[in-house]
Structure 1
Amino acid sequence: MPSDTPQPAFVLVRPQMGENVGAAARAMWNFGLDRMRIVAPRDGWPNPKAVAMASGAGRLLDEARLAEDLAGAIEDCDFVFATTARPRELTKPVYSPEAAMKLAAEKMAAGEKVAVMFGPERAGLENEDIARANAIISVPVNPEFASLNLGQCVLLTAYEWRRQVTDVAPVVTDLGKSDWASHADVDTLVNHYEDRLDDAGFFFPPDKAPSMKTVFRNMFSRMPLTRADVQMLHGIMRQMVRWKEKRD
C-alpha cells in the first residue's frame, strides 16, 4: 500500500516506453514518493520493461493507479500542476519546480489533494491536457535543447518536493569515527608545540616571542580540528623530537 505521508500524486500521461515509466518510479522512490498514476500507456500495462528499469522501486508500479483518460486520473484532486517546457497559448501561472512544490506543500498542509502531470516522451502534454491544470511547472532548461526525458523531469520535481518536506543542511561535515576537538584538546596541543618549539629556539628573538606565540595559537584556533587530527599532530611532534634526539 502507498505510504500515509501526505504527498502529491505524479500522473504520467500516455507514457510511451516502459523503461521511462520504470525510471520515473525509481526517481519518485528516491525521494520518498510512491503515488503514481498512469494514463493510457502506449505499450499496455503491466510492462516488464518498466519493472526492470524500476530497479527496486517495483512496488510503485504494482500499486500504480491506471486510468483510461486524464479526467479519471485527476478527478479526486483539488489542484493540478502540468509540467511543460514549451510556450503555450493558455493563460496560467507558471512556477519553477521549487516554487511549485512549495505551493503543493502548503496546499496539502491545508488538506487539499495535489497532482503533477507529466506528458508523453515525444512531445509532452497537449494543450487539451494542460487546460485541465491549475498551474504550469516550467524547468529553466537550455532553450536550444528544452526536451527533458520523462524520468529526468520526474526526478527534478520529486527532488524539489523532498526539499520542501525535509530539513536539508546545505553543508555537512562527515566526521567518520572521530569527533570535533574540544578547546582543551587544542589548548594541550598548542602547549605541546610551543614547548618543543621553544626548545628548538623557534620563538626568536626573545622580544618577539610573545607576539609569535599569539599568532601561532590563533592559527590553531582558526582550524576546525577533530580529535583524530589532534592526536596525529601530537604524534608528529613526538616523532620529530625522537628523530632529533637519535641524530644527536
Structure 2
Amino acid sequence: MSQPMMILVRPQMGENIGAAARAMLNFGLEGMRIVDPRDGWPNPKAVAMASGAGRLLDRAGVFPDVAAAVADCQYVFATTARPRELTKPVLTPEEAMAQARAMIAKGMKVGVLFGPERTGLENDDVALANAIITVPVNPEFASLNLAQCTLLTAYEWRRQTDGAIPVPEIDLATGIEVEKLGDHYEEVLDKAGFFFPETKAANMKLNLRSMWSRLALTRADVQTLHGMLRQIIRRQG
C-alpha cells in the first residue's frame, strides 16, 4: 500500500461508486475497498459511471464490515461533517493527507473511510478510526456527496507530493490487533461487572473501542496491555 486505501462504507448507488473511482484516478489513487454495498457487487451502474477508471472497480476489495476492511491498516481516517461524541483528532483533508503520506513513506498502511450517501458514517464506524477528516465547508450546507468528498481527499493526497510532515519511526498496531485487544478487555470487564447499568453498556463499549483506536497504539503497546490484563487475572485467580 504505497497510497492510502479509500474505503467506501455501505455505498448506496452504483453511480456514486463509479464517480468516486473516477475522482480517485484523476489524482493517481487506485486502491479502493467497498464495505457491504447496498445493491451488491459488481454493479453495472458503477462501471458505466467510472468510464476509464473501471480498472479500480475490477480490483476493488469487497468486505462485509468496516472492521474487516481496516484490519490490516495501522492508521485510519474517518470523513464526517457531523459533530461526534467520540473524542478524536480533527484534521482538514490537507493536514490528513500530509500525515498519511509521511506515514506511508515509513511503510505504514493507511485507510480513509467514506460513509453512505444518506446518513454518513455511524459512530460504530468512526470508533474504529484514529482521526477524523472534516472539510471546512459552509456550515449552513455542509453535506458533500460521496464522489465530492473522495475527490477533495484525493486532490490533497496528490498535492502533498512534497513537504510531507515527518513522523517518528514507530510500528503501529494494525486494525485487527487493536480489535483483538478491545475484545480481550471487553470480555474481562464484562465478567467483572464493569458495564453497568445495562442500559448504558452499549455506549460504554463504544467509547472503549473509540479510546483504543484514538491512542494509535504500537504493536508493543498492544502486547503490553494484553500482558497486564493477563497478569491481573492470574493474580486474582
Into which bin does the TM-score normalised by the smaller protein fall?
0.5 to 0.7
Paired position in structure 2 for 1:87: 83
Q: How does 1:89-108 map to 2 (within 5 A)?
A: 89-108=85-104
Identity %: 73
Amino acid in structure 1 at the alignment position of 2:114: F
Q: 1:140 aligns with which of 114, 127, 136?
A: 136
Deviant stretches of 4+, over 4 Å: none
Paired position in structure 1 for 2:179: none
| Residue 148 of structure 1: how far off its partner (Å) | 0.3
Separation in structure 2 between the aligned mates of residue 43 and residue 166 of structure 1, nearest angstrom: 39
| Residue 30 of structure 1: how far off its partner (Å) | 0.3
Q: Secondary structure at the match of 1:129?
A: helix
Deviations 1:14-53 (A, max 9, x none): 0000000000000000000000000000000000000010
Separation in structure 1 between the aligned mates of residue 76 and residue 21 of structure 2, nearest angstrom: 19
Amino acid in structure 2 at the alignment position of 1:110: K
- Bigger Rg over Cα: 1
Distance 1:32 1:49, change over 3 A: same
Q: How does 1:39-50 map to 2 (within 5 A)?
A: 39-50=35-46
Amino acid in structure 1 at the alignment position of 2:145: N
**Does 2:151 match 1:155?**
yes
Paired position in structure 2 for 1:210: none
CA RMSD of aligned residues (A): 1.1
Q: Secondary structure at the match of 1:125?
A: coil
Paired position in structure 2 for 1:226: none
TM-score between the two structures when normalised by the length of structure 1? 0.65
Q: 1:128 aligns with which of 124, 127, 147?
A: 124
Separation in structure 2 between the aligned mates of residue 121 and residue 142 of structure 1, nearest angstrom: 18
Paired position in structure 2 for 1:28: 24
Deviations 1:153-183 (A, max 9, x none): 000000000001269xxxxxxxxxxxxxxxx
- Structure 1 residue runs without a partner (length 5+): 168-248
Separation in structure 1 between the aligned mates of residue 27 and residue 162 of structure 2, nearest angstrom: 10
Higher RCO, 1 vs 2 (CA within 8 Å, ≥6 residues apart) = 2
